[in-house]
Structure 1
């Protein structure tokens, strides 16, 4: 039998659903028993669509357990006095379940962060559960979060997906959506242009056409790779002996800076600073061309640099450094080399990418 081909998602971000994907409710069965007991006691005949409606309306607002229970009773035309309501609320809060993270969550998030992948949380949950999630150890790994009760929108509404993508600063095509609900975490994201994969921890019988995993450990084995990012940096036109290389990069903006003693280039009256974008595919060849094009008469005064989230190119005359953009120690050799040439230290204070 031929081996199943490994899927590779080339994305810049991953969005995770919360419950059923990253965490679960411990002793959640008590929650179900509580409502069955209410239904029996007060003669409520539950209708699935009605229950879903209650939950969706509840998840859209910043409300607590008391609001939900009150809304539930009113929706079912069930009147109780204050004492009975207080008693029911205490039981409801006790049986709601404690949030527990799955054991594969933090190891997976660490791997994705190392790859430079942006991470976001998205969930249809109420205020009480949002507070629980924000106190969980895995929450610190996320760049953004879009919770229904804070955004006044729920999955599968289009707006909650758009809000999540906007918070990550990415297009849907640059994001992988991961969740456990077929309709809202898989089919709807795909419909809106996201990549998606379903996590099926409970081994439900989904169609083989549904791209699914059983654990988050399998997610990293699927092959999530950071989409190649272009580089952005600055080229001072006066630093180039051969300016033809400027035609091979995209100039995003230009500004003129008057030269002072601080610049340490007394033979010049001004610097023409071009903010440029360098294609990820041509970064290496452009770096070599710039290295050769730097003014040979004043080679000890100049360098050019450009970077993305992973790599920082620092280019001197006939010398190129390729540093890890998120590690200060990796940038240090280039800094020391520039100082030895006589370049002012303040010009070599490279910013580390977060």
Structure 2
């Protein structure tokens, strides 16, 4: 194994699966608003403003997330409309949680090299079920979702609880993410070894290691083993 590293913890969106397609997300929100009979621009604004509540466990499912937004608008909807709206939201999220092509090969390689594997995701309540439905999830020893543990990156607790569940100290864990929401800085602050993944476009301002995909993580750890 690479140096003293014994575990690798991954971010989800932008790392193992693509980030949300913003334009399509807004179209989905407009479709939901039309179904519920509310102004789509206002619904989208309020939905975006309620992100923190969705990813820290204030809503148990897509239907509750939509109802939370409606209540903040002073609006309401019948149960049938809410259920249909939640189904649209769930299908959108399902289409987002699709791993990049090389991910499973890279994850299998890391597992074969003896690393413990973890996941930390700032996510809304649909994501844990969708993650667990993926064949990829079986390779992971721990998956920590902000909506389930009610704290999120870059707060130190979510990193520490994941390392603890892996049975490893933070100093023995690599953290791999695209750098959103200061996740790499948060990982570094608790003692993990942060690595930025940049899948497309120019390299960003980051003073640590950078890889282009999960196979790049495999190669990085091999090079660390050779040192």
Smaller-chain TM-score bracket: 0.7 to 0.9
More strand by share: 1
Q: State which structure, 1 or 2, has the greater radius of gyration over its C-alpha atoms.
A: 1
Structure 1 distance, partners of 2:69, 2:27, is: 15
Find the residue that maps to 2:42 and give its secondary structure.
coil
Structure 1 distance, partners of 2:181, 2:189, is: 10
* Correspondence for 1:173 among 167, 171, 174: 171
1:154 aligns with 152
Structure 2 distance, partners of 1:225, 1:194, is: 18
Query: Offset of 1:43 from its aligned partner?
Result: 4.8
Query: Offset of 1:25 from its aligned partner?
Result: 6.9
Instruction: Assess if the C-alpha contact under 8 Å between 2:93 and 2:126 holds in 1.
Output: no
Structure 2 distance, partners of 1:224, 1:92, is: 41
> Residues 81 and 149 (structure 1 numbering): CA distance in 2 closer, same or farther, change over 3 Å?
closer
Structure 1 distance, partners of 2:138, 2:223, is: 21
> Residues 102 and 179 (structure 1 numbering): CA distance in 2 closer, same or farther, change over 3 Å?
same
Instruction: Assess if the C-alpha contact under 8 Å between 1:11 and 1:176 holds in 2.
Output: yes
Q: Describe the superposition over 1:183-204 as per-residue Cα deviations: whole angstroms up to 9, x where unpaired.
A: 4431111122110101111325
Query: Offset of 1:17 from its aligned partner?
Result: 1.1
Q: Describe the superposition over 1:235-272 as per-residue Cα deviations: whole angstroms up to 9, x where unpaired.
A: xxxxxxxxxxxxxxxxxxxxxxxxxxxxxxxxxxxxxx
Structure 2 distance, partners of 1:55, 1:26, is: 14
Matched, 1:121 2:119: yes
Query: Offset of 1:89 from its aligned partner?
Result: 3.6
Query: Offset of 1:31 from its aligned partner?
Result: 2.2
Structure 2 distance, partners of 1:226, 1:211, is: 12
Instruction: Name the count of aligned residue pairs.
Output: 217
Structure 1 distance, partners of 2:90, 2:145, is: 21
2:61 aligns with 64
2:48 aligns with 51
Instruction: Assess if the C-alpha contact under 8 Å between 1:15 and 1:120 holds in 2.
Output: yes
> Residues 196 and 127 (structure 1 numbering): CA distance in 2 closer, same or farther, change over 3 Å?
same
Matched, 1:31 2:28: no
Structure 2 distance, partners of 1:43, 1:102, is: 32
Instruction: Assess if the C-alpha contact under 8 Å between 1:119 and 1:144 holds in 2.
Output: yes
2:6 aligns with 12
Find the residue that maps to 1:154 and give its secondary structure.
coil
2:215 aligns with 217
Query: Offset of 1:87 from its aligned partner?
Result: 5.1
Instruction: Assess if the C-alpha contact under 8 Å between 1:24 and 1:100 holds in 2.
Output: yes
Structure 1 residues without counterparts, runs of 5 or longer: 1-7, 228-354
* Correspondence for 1:141 among 124, 139, 144: 139
Instruction: Assess if the C-alpha contact under 8 Å between 2:43 and 2:69 holds in 1.
Output: no
Matched, 1:81 2:66: no
Q: Which has the higher contact order (CA 8 A, sep 6+)?
A: 2
Structure 1 distance, partners of 2:56, 2:88, is: 24
Structure 1 distance, partners of 2:110, 2:188, is: 21
Q: TM-score, normalised by structure 2?
A: 0.80
Q: TM-score, normalised by structure 1?
A: 0.54
Structure 2 distance, partners of 1:140, 1:97, is: 18
More helix by share: 2
Query: Offset of 1:182 from its aligned partner?
Result: 3.7
Structure 2 distance, partners of 1:88, 1:182, is: 28
Structure 1 distance, partners of 2:153, 2:89, is: 25
